[in-house]
Amino acid sequence: MAILSPSFLVGRKRYVVALSLLATVFSIRLLFPTFSSRFTFSSSFDQSLELYPPNPNSNSPKINPPRPIGSGTANATLVFLARNSDLPGVLSSMKHLEDKFNKEYGYPWVFLNEEEFTEEFVSAVRERTSAPVSFGVIPHDDWFQPDWVDEERANEGRRKMKEAGIIYADSVPYRNMCRFNSGFFFKHPLLQPYKYYWRVEPDINYFCDVTYDPFDYLRDNKKTYGFTISFYEWEKTIPTLWGNVKEFMALHPEYIAPENAMGYLSDNGGESYNLCHFWSNFEIADMDFWRSEAYTTFFEFLDQKGGFYYERWGDAPVHSIAAALFLPKDQLHFFRDIGYRHEPFQHCPRGDDWVRGKCECRSGDGLDYAPQSCIPRYERLFH
């Protein structure tokens, strides 16, 4: 890992001022044609916009005014789990997030991989940002299938899931990743110094200028977990997850927050799971929550059930269930103003930001009020 020195950061500010002036002039013209093909994505959702008008959050949030360039001061980092072969998608994602946000804030990037990053990867990534970047290898046991997992049973689980036609059904690396993102990333030595993180993945896209610091927003408004997209999980990947969650809740009622978001997870008071989850490839959140006693106990309980390997438990339902149960519901935050796409879904803010040149997606063009979305359930928590 290498952290750039403070003197470099001062010099960088002047450079970034000039760069951002140029970017303001050219970025819209340059980027706009790239995304025009996206506009066809959503026409099928237009009707549903009328059926489910947006419910603006009743409590008026504090949003800080834009800060001077290079002045991100939150205890925060951008986290990127990637393989060497992901490099093109990594560079593309970095470009979007640097252009739309980080070129002005200069938050450090942390890259994690199950093996060493290549020199090519490291130097290409460093070219894409003037912020500090560090590269880490994931400890073996935090990534690979534990020895105590019954490989015969795991193999049988993968075979059945493949027969059922489920995406990543027979992938062990995908399961390693889900388990790592559920229980280990925030323990990595390179992430220890930080409280807040913004999760980034290859080939994602940010549509809108982020004109305030989302990390400051979380801190100033006492939020813990922020998301942009929410929909139903594929039940066949988590057949026994909710039963285990219920067992955990019975064992540890002390961890369940009084004003929790059970209404988002369940339509019958917790009897069954409605499969709603926050799509965790985007997360802006507080790692101290994942490091808390409640979450640590929860993850260890789930891990020893083996469902990350015998089934295909995703980090999205695991994170979402924990956040919805162990946090008061008003510590969850829907980042409505952050336009985001990860294939095949996206979220585009409502309002006239598109017209004013702040966004490259069409207002409201996304999953929010489509039939498979769980955003209405989230909003109902507050009404």
Q: Interface mask (CB under 6 A) for ligand NAG, residues 139-178, using x and -? A: ----------------------------------------
Closer CB to ligand NAG, 290 or 369, in the complex: 290
| Residues 6+ away with beta carbon under 8 Å from 101 | 206, 209, 210
Catalytic entry in 233, 283, 311, 379: 283
> Is residue 195 near ligand NAG by the rule CB under 6 A?
yes
> Is residue 215 near ligand NAG by the rule CB under 6 A?
no
| Residues 6+ away with beta carbon under 8 Å from 231 | 276, 277, 279, 345, 367, 372, 373, 374
To the nearest whole angstrom, how small is the minimum distance from the Cβ of residue 291 to ligand NAG?
Answer: 8
Closer CB to ligand NAG, 157 or 226, in the complex: 226
> Is residue 277 near ligand NAG by the rule CB under 6 A?
no
> Is residue 288 near ligand NAG by the rule CB under 6 A?
yes
Residue 29 amino acid letter: R
To the nearest whole angstrom, how small is the minimum distance from the Cβ of residue 237 to ligand NAG?
Answer: 32
| Residues 6+ away with beta carbon under 8 Å from 56 | none
Does residue 283 carry a catalytic annotation?
yes
> Is residue 194 near ligand NAG by the rule CB under 6 A?
yes
Q: Residue 113 is encoded by which pair of tokens?
A: 């991989």
Tell me which residue of 242, 235, 229 sits closest to 318, measured CA to CA.
242
Asked whether the beta carbons of 283 and 225 are under 8 A apart, the reply is yes
Do the strands 225-227 and 332-334 form a parallel or antiparallel pair, or are they unpaired?
A: parallel
Closer CB to ligand NAG, 114 or 220, in the complex: 220
> Is residue 188 near ligand NAG by the rule CB under 6 A?
no
Closer CB to ligand NAG, 194 or 299, in the complex: 194
To the nearest whole angstrom, how small is the minimum distance from the Cβ of residue 134 to ligand NAG?
Answer: 15
Alpha-carbon dihedral 220, 226, 228, 231, rounded to 10 degrees: -150
Distance CA 266, CA 380 (A): 12
Asked whether the beta carbons of 194 and 75 are under 8 A apart, the reply is yes
- How many residues bind ligand NAG (CB under 6 A)? The answer is 4
Can you tell me which of 75, 118, 123, 296 binds ligand NAG, judged by CB under 6 A? 75
Point out which residues bind ligand NAG (CB under 6 A).
75, 194-195, 288
Q: Which residues belong to the active site?
A: 283
